[in-house]
Structure 1
Amino acid sequence: MGIEEVVKSNVPPHNLEAEESVLGAMLLSRDAIAQVIEILDSRSFYRKAHRDIYEAIIELFESGEPVDIISVSDHLAKKGLLDSVGGYTYLSSLLNKIPTPSNAAYHAKIVQEKAILRELIEAGIKIKELAEEENDDVPVIMDKAEQIIFAVTQRKVFQYFIPLKEELFNVFELIEVRSRKHSYLSGIPTGFEEFDKLTGGLQYSDFIVIAGRPSMGKTAFCLNIAHHVGVNLKLPVAVFSLEMSSEQVAMRMLSAEAGIPYYKLRVGDLSEAEWRRITTSINTLAEAPIYIDDSPNISVLEMRAKARRLKSEVGLSLIIIDYLQLMSSGARMENRVQEISKISRD
């Protein structure tokens, strides 16, 4: 491998032509600025000079000042950056790098893609350093590594305030659709009609605690919800069972589906008719996207890692934990109440 190849392989992904095209469009059109600002920030640009020019354009735009080659040059000069970006001559050359400002959003996406690739490389370096330093336990290092990658994959497009007028139209359309459906549900139905009427179903991102005294049916209630969501709605469900084995969970769900008492399944005391119902129920449950993890004393770090992996592989609509008190926070706490509070926050 020659020297030129080694140098080339170490250059992070970038597209200077796309960066120049974006900046040129922003110098020509305020509409282009409005489009680009929702896709990029200054960190998206590879060249420092381009980052400085972008920031100067945005500062003028946000202050309501005119944005053109003269105003940007003057602004950069006041900041002492005009010479470092290439001077007035380089700014003038940017105007020749864009055929039409209408392509600004397309070229901005090219710049964004290159920026994400650079972030992935940086993330890989950070993960390598975490592994080599060995300052934490392996599960902690794995969780930190997943968080680093997750932060890159969840990179969002920048978004400004939404006018209430626009959102009201969206709300009106949503209400109109729901009125045609004649449904009181706004989330995932649990299968318990009265509960769904009060709550509108299980809402995404909600953290819900089912509380009650021992042997009051908390586990049965949660498994019935998992059954309804997985079997009837065909939505992916993760069940973390810290008390029962996966075999016991599967048997309880089979009992509910077949309508056969749980104790009869445990001892195998079944009639021929019940055997036929068992076979039919197994076929039904086998097609449901329900996933069970029965790892005892699982930590928040492990659970989060497993949930992320399942989400990336098949999707995830509902997570059930049975039950919270059996989880480990992975940290030393003064008492169990503080530990449960930490688990809930994490």
Structure 2
Amino acid sequence: MAVDSRHIPPHSLEAERSVLGALLLDSNAYSKLSDIGLEVVDFYREAHAKIFEAVQDLVSRAEPVDLITLTTSLKNRNTYEQVGGSSYLSGLFEDSYSSAHIVHYSKIVKEKAILRRMISTAHELVDKAHGGVENIEEYLDLAEKAIFEVTDSKLRQSFASIKQILVENITMLESLSSNKTNITGLPTGYRDLDEKTSGLHPGNLIIIAGRPAMGKTSFVLNIAERAALRHKASVAVFSLEMAKEELGMRLLSGVAKIDASRLKTGRLGDHDWKNLTRAAGQLSSSKLFIDDTPALTVLEMRSRCRRLVSDHGLNLIIVDYLQLMRGNSKGMKGQDSREREISEISRSLKALAKELRVPVIALSQLNRGVESRPDKRPMLSDLRESGAIEQDADIVAFVYRDEVYNKETEDPGVAEIIMAKHRAGSTGTVRLKWQAEYTAFDDLEEGYRMPTGMGAGAESYQGSKGGSSLPEAFPPAGPMGGKKGGLDLPDF
């Protein structure tokens, strides 16, 4: 009876033989496989897996790989006859003419192995679903985690040549030298803050923290709105606390400049409706996306962001707020476990920023220790539940408004953005105007600003597939010369 080819797991015996033959032909070929991450379990034929395992053993002991050493190793393992003996090993060697294409064949072997694992994972998930699912949320979380573990075994890259790095460095410097501003990342829309940070850079985790009523959510919403409207950026906002409808009203209030209390009651005049219609049109045509699913895990967030990258591109992720997320680990209880969970979430958000090459802004709570001090301005030690947040973050900034604590303050309507940590630049304070009627922040007039110093940053901004009017990432040429940045770099 004919075998249904659809039920044969994906594999390529020819590619497996080519890899093993190349290893026998060239003792140094194994070093080319480090970026592929090829493993014993990636081979479909058991004999090939045993041969590759013996090769790995020889390499680990710094012994040459050839027919003689491989034969000895297999005999010591009592697997020589199992793999086909002398005739099969000789065939592998004789059928190989060059090791030049070992990376290409290794990728084929790896890709087929990933497909087999995906099929196996899918079967396990189907069986579990047929067996009965008590908690659908736990099942979906398990499914996503299982699939992520398969995708995480994809081809990986380790080293980059110094030539590659220098070409990127010089081209980036060309872009910076032709840039008339100091902003090299995604602009926040606030003059002094952009001068301080040079914008928000890909791969960075930015923590915005503050006590309740300081305006943390309003501040990051303002950044999201300015990035989406002024710079045509694609922005994902994960609101784990406020409903998307409430965020929508805040955005309308800020863009239309309509008092939030009047907007909430619907008591609007003709002029208000005109401004509201204009604001709604601007926001509707932007690439601003809001997800108000509560208690998200980072895995769930990662999955949704990947879809957004594919469909619309992505330039900025905002999370409101970190402590409302769930870790991926199950069964954690107690204060120590909660701190470990927050540490896991913090590390995962940083990893998400690096993977998708976008800045991630995460809001965070502060502990109540602030309230017991005469000076209520926050410090890094006030970050709630985990020192890992401070460790993982590239920037930690606090939102502080003195009028919340001191009704007789000399600075009514003024907010301080306190840069307590800045991995790529200086710390300090940026002063902004607080517009309570719109729950919005704006730049202060020149006479009320506090000097902030020059911004520091050295990455040209480019999000994940996000076409926009952001600073150009790597132009083809610049004032220093051709595409290699004016350096005479040799071709290897």
Letter paired with 1:69: L
Q: Give the equivalent residue in structure 1 for 2:82.
A: 84
Q: Give the equivalent residue in structure 2 for 1:312.
A: 307
CA distance change for structure 1 residues 229 and 136 in 2, over 3 Å: closer, same or farther? farther
CA distance change for structure 1 residues 67 and 239 in 2, over 3 Å: closer, same or farther? same
Q: Which moved more, 1:325-334 or 1:176-185?
A: 325-334
Q: Give the equivalent residue in structure 2 for 1:109.
A: 107
CA distance change for structure 1 residues 42 and 245 in 2, over 3 Å: closer, same or farther? same
The SS at the match of 2:22 is: helix
Output aligned runs, 1:163-242, within 5 Å. 167=165, 170-171=168-169, 173-181=171-179, 184-185=182-183, 187-204=185-202, 206-242=204-240
Structure with the higher fraction of residues in strand conformation = 2
Between the aligned partners of 1:66 and 1:325, the Cα distance in structure 2 is 53
TM-score by length of 2: 0.60
Q: Give the equivalent residue in structure 2 for 1:73.
A: 71
Output aligned runs, 1:265-280, within 5 Å. 265-280=263-278
C-alpha distance after superposition, 1:96-117 (max 9, x if no partner): 3335433323222222221111
TM-score by length of 1: 0.81
Shift of 1:183: 5.3
Output aligned runs, 1:19-168, within 5 Å. 19-30=16-27, 32-39=29-36, 40-61=38-59, 63-132=61-130, 137-161=135-159, 167=165
Structure with the higher fraction of residues in helix conformation = 1
The SS at the match of 2:209 is: coil
Between the aligned partners of 2:287 and 2:164, the Cα distance in structure 1 is 37
The SS at the match of 1:210 is: strand
Q: Which moved more, 1:212-221 or 1:228-237?
A: 228-237
C-alpha distance after superposition, 1:166-210 (max 9, x if no partner): 756654554454344355455433223333444444344544442
Shift of 1:46: 0.6
RMSD: 3.3
Q: Give the equivalent residue in structure 2 for 1:345.
A: 344
CA distance change for structure 1 residues 323 and 111 in 2, over 3 Å: closer, same or farther? closer
Q: Which runs of 5+ in 1 are unaligned?
A: none
Letter paired with 2:155: V
Between the aligned partners of 1:141 and 1:95, the Cα distance in structure 2 is 48
Between the aligned partners of 1:281 and 1:201, the Cα distance in structure 2 is 25
Q: Give the equivalent residue in structure 2 for 1:293.
A: 291
C-alpha distance after superposition, 1:293-326 (max 9, x if no partner): 334xx2234x742551342243544333334455
Between the aligned partners of 2:103 and 2:303, the Cα distance in structure 1 is 31
User: Looking at both structures, which has the greater relative contact order when contacts are Cα pairs under 8 Å and sequence separation is at least 6?
Assistant: 2
Shift of 1:53: 1.8
Between the aligned partners of 1:35 and 1:254, the Cα distance in structure 2 is 55
CA distance change for structure 1 residues 175 and 30 in 2, over 3 Å: closer, same or farther? farther
Shift of 1:16: 0.8
Q: Which runs of 5+ in 2 are unaligned?
A: 346-492
CA contact (8 A) 2:239 2:321 kept: yes
Letter paired with 2:245: E
